[in-house]
């Protein structure tokens, strides 16, 4: 339990949890996992059209390909910059993952996988007070969402939920 409160004390996390209705604090494993703390919210979608409508309502315009773009081949090693040229696609579509984008001018990361869309906020590897304010602002936009919210955003003991 002490690990959960290493960067932010329990009192601060409880205060953040009371301020946020949808976003949850995720305490990263860190170290060799190369992940960071974040504020996350996730929604389930059944059809790609639901995802498209949801993201459009947030001002996110998806990159949609007419044909399968080149993808990395298994068993072939690629240099980092070469690998980054391959678009990461949303499962079951020819649409590029939103990745780094803005909602209401706020930088977020959006990843869609296996019928779940997850929105994350963070400053590098940490969560700041500004991230909490930004998450609260985005929550006002998300309040009307008809998609089922997944709470916590993933099956992990690393989430701090009220």
Q: What is the pLDDT of residue 30?
A: 61
Task: Note whether 111 and 125 are within 8 A (CB).
Answer: no
Handedness of CA 40, 41, 46, 47 (dihedral sign): negative
Q: What is the mean pLDDT of each run of 10 residues along the chain (162 residues)?
A: 55 82 84 72 96 96 96 93 94 96 97 97 88 96 94 84 68
Is residue 16 within a helix (H) or strand (E), and if so which, with residue range?
helix 10-19
pLDDT value, residue 2? 47
Question: Residues 119, 103: contact at Cβ < 8 Å?
Answer: yes
pTM for this entry: 0.88
Contact 122, 36 (CB under 8 A): yes
């Amino acid at each position: 339990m002490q690990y959960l409160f290493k960067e932010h004390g329990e009192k601060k996390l409880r205060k953040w949890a009371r301020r946020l209705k949808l976003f949850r604090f995720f305490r990263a494993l860190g170290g060799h996992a190369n992940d960071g703390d974040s504020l996350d919210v996730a929604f389930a979608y059944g059809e790609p059209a639901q995802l498209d409508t949801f993201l459009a309502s947030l001002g996110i315009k998806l990159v949609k390909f007419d044909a399968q773009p080149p993808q990395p081949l298994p068993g072939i090693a690629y240099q980092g910059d070469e690998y980054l040229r391959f678009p990461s696609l949303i499962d079951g579509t020819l649409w590029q993952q939103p990745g780094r984008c803005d909602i209401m001018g706020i930088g977020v990361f959006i990843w869609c996988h296996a019928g779940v869309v997850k929105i994350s906020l963070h400053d590098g590897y940490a969560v700041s007070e500004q991230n909490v304010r930004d998450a609260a602002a985005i929550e006002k936009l998300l309040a009307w969402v008809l998609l089922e919210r997944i709470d916590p955003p993933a099956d992990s003991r690393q989430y701090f939920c009220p």
